[in-house]
Amino acid sequence: MRILYLQTFPLWGSGSGTYARYLASEVGKRHQVAIVVPDKRVATHTKLYQVKMPLKVAFTGHPDWPKCALYTQISNYDFLRVYHSYLKAACYAVEDFSPNIIHVHHIFPLTWAARYIKALYRINYVVTVHGSELPTLQKQKRYYSLTVDALRRVKKIIPNSYWTKDWFLDILGEEFREKTRVIAPGVFLERFKPDLNTTSLDKKYNLGGKKVVLFAGKLTRYKGVKYLIKAAKKIPAEVVILGDGPERKDLEKRVKRLKLSNVHFVGHLANKTEVLNRFYSRADVFVAPSVWDEPLGLVILESMACKTPVVVTRKGGIPLAVKEGVNGLFVRPRNASEIVEKVNYLLKNDDLRRKMGERARKIVEKKFSWETIAQKFERIYEKYAVKRNKK
């Protein structure tokens, strides 16, 4: 089969971009794969068709695009310019690559392009609902009608968690229920390994002999990092924050105002997977204090793969991977005192923390490896693929 992926954002720096890159790389081991994306970095086993955008725009921001606009803010004309660049690149890829099926990431705007391609080329398409697009669709009704039209012609709608599915159906309607099937994201187990040597990190960031509490992700208000910072004063460990985003400056000001010496901003690691892996392995606890309905953060799965127990909010799709007392602990959103309580409980109990980490790795191995996830997608592709002659 030849599968063409359409992705709205770069392949590094965000959950959906990483998801698209990992899925394409795994499927590409067994099939011919190409991806249309506003990125020039090439994923393994994948042919790249770069989108040259007239302006950068995202749903909630993107660390690779620190000054990008938001879909809730841009004018209709600017949206048209952006959409035209995606449509042009997608149509060129169809002509050149001749796919048997198209897989779209996010329910808009690239489903609109897939709808257009289906009408002209008779190529079926499926779509993954990542969740980050849903607040924009709720706020901006101008995107609604064309999205509904595109979804009525899609073969399969694939939310990344049961929470995302319910949220999606609440916004778009029950008519799409029969088309939906939840498939969670995955982790490349061979890339995220536990028990790595982290001496280089200890030396570079002065972490030797200290407990480490880690956060990784986009620094937006939805991630709730300010509550971790508020908790940091009462946590006897180094709090390391990986990532970048529009909230970083405010978060750094908050650290300065609270006179915290144990909080460290490392920044966005881009495609430095090995360094990220070592941080996961070095961390004693991973904290994801999201205040919105997180679809299912890849960073949570990646930290679990590195045998790191997690402290997370019971938001969105997170409970799909985290079980209370098994591989992590839950805290209420916007509750710094609970973060202090749960994190310190784990820091004081080395044996419990080790056992939770072992169970976390086993859960990922059983349910969330990319090999397992990709095979689920491949069965869907095979069902809806159309025959086409490669030029």
Model confidence at 311: pLDDT above 60: yes
Q: Which two tokens stand for residue 6?
A: 């359409």
Alpha-carbon distance of 73 to 79, in angstroms, equals 10
Residues 207, 354 within the same domain: yes
Query: Do 357 and 375 belong to one domain?
Result: no
Domain contains 302: yes
- The answer to whether residue 114 sits within a structural domain is yes
Task: Please write the tens of the pLDDT for every residue from 90-107.
Answer: 999 999 999 999 999 999
pLDDT > 90 fraction of the chain, expressed in percent and rounded: 78
φ and ψ of 57, to 5 deg: -145, 140
Span 294-320, average pLDDT: 84
Asked whether the beta carbons of 342 and 311 are under 8 A apart, the reply is yes
The per-residue pLDDT for 318 is 75
Q: What is the pLDDT of residue 110?
A: 98
Give the 3-state secondary structure of residue 128.
Answer: strand
| 318 shares a domain with 269 | yes
Residue 138 to residue 175: CA distance in whole angstroms: 17
Total tally of structural domains belonging to the chain = 2
Same domain, 100 and 125: yes
Exposed (0-12), middle (13-18) or buried (19+): which is 131, by Cβ within 10 Å?
buried
pLDDT, average across residues 184-202: 87
Whether the per-residue pLDDT at 295 is higher than 70: the answer is: no
Looking up residue 173, the CATH number of its domain turns out to be: 3.40.50.2000
Say yes or no: 341 and 379 in one domain.
no
Tokens 């939906």 belong to 180
Q: How confident is the model at residue 188 (pLDDT cuts 50, 70, 90)?
A: confident
Q: Are residues 161 and 239 in the same domain?
A: no
Contacts made by residues 348-354, CB under 8 angstroms, sequence distance 24+: 353/284, 353/285, 353/309, 354/307
Any domain includes 119:
yes
Per-residue pLDDT band for 297 (boundaries 50, 70, 90) equals confident
Domain-located, residue 391: no
Q: Do 277 and 320 have their domain in common?
A: yes
Please answer whether residues 35 and 24 qualify as being in contact, where contact means their C-beta atoms are separated by less than 8 angstroms. yes
**Tokens read off for 247:** 């909230």
Residue 218 resides in a domain? yes
10 and 130 within one domain: yes
DSSP-derived pairing of the beta strands 156-159 and 2-6? unpaired
The pLDDT confidence band at residue 2, using thresholds 50, 70 and 90, is very high
The arithmetic mean of pLDDT across residues 50-57, rounded, is: 96
Read off the DSSP letter of residue 6: E
Q: In what order do the strands lie in the sheet with 101-105?
A: 47-50, 32-37, 2-6, 101-105, 125-129, 156-159
The confidence score (pLDDT) of residue 294 equals 65
Instruction: Quote the Cα angle for 192-194-199, to 5°.
Output: 105
Asked if the model's pLDDT at residue 39 lies above 70, the reply is: yes
Share the mean pLDDT of the chain.
Answer: 93
Q: Kindly state whether residue 194 falls inside one of the protein's structural domains.
A: no
Range with lowest mean pLDDT among 119-123, 196-200, 283-287: 196-200
Mark whether 15 and 163 lie in a shared domain.
yes
Mean per-residue pLDDT, 54-81: 94
Confidence of residue 316 (pLDDT cuts 50, 70, 90): low
pTM: 0.79
Strands (E), the chain: 2-6, 32-37, 47-50, 57-58, 69-70, 101-105, 125-129, 156-159, 212-216, 238-242, 263-267, 285-288, 310-313, 328-331
What are the distances in angstroms from CA 201 to CA 51, 189, 259, 282? 36, 21, 24, 8
Q: Which residue has the higher pLDDT, 337 or 269?
A: 337
pLDDT digits (tens, 9 = 90+) for 208-240: 999 999 999 889 888 999 999 999 999 999 999
Rounded to whole angstroms, the Cα distance separating 359 from 361 reads 5
- 179 Cβ partners below 8 Å, 6+ apart? 151, 154, 155, 156, 157
Is a pLDDT exceeding 80 seen at residue 322?
Answer: yes
Residue 391 — very low, low, confident or very high, per pLDDT cuts 50/70/90?
A: low
Can you tell me the distance from the alpha carbon of 137 to that of 142, in angstroms, rounded to the nearest whole number?
8
Query: Are both 111 and 212 inside the same structural domain?
Result: no
Above 90 in pLDDT, residue 185? Answer: no
Q: Residue 223 falls within a domain, yes or no?
A: yes
**What is the extent of the structural domain holding 227?**
199-367
Query: pLDDT tens for residues 23-33?
Result: 999 999 999 99
Mean pLDDT of all residues in 246-254: 95
123-177, pLDDT tens digit by residue? 999 999 999 999 999 999 999 999 999 999 999 999 998 888 999 999 999 999 9
Question: Contact 95/71 with Cβ under 8 angstroms?
Answer: no
**115/73 same-domain check:** yes
Lowest mean pLDDT, pick from 8-22, 183-197, 198-212 = 183-197
The pLDDT value recorded for residue 293 is: 66
Structure tokens at 135: 């607040």
Q: Would you say residue 346 has pLDDT above 90? A: yes
Residue 357 sits in the same domain as residue 229: yes
What pLDDT was estimated at residue 270?
A: 65
How many percent of the chain have pLDDT more than 70?
97
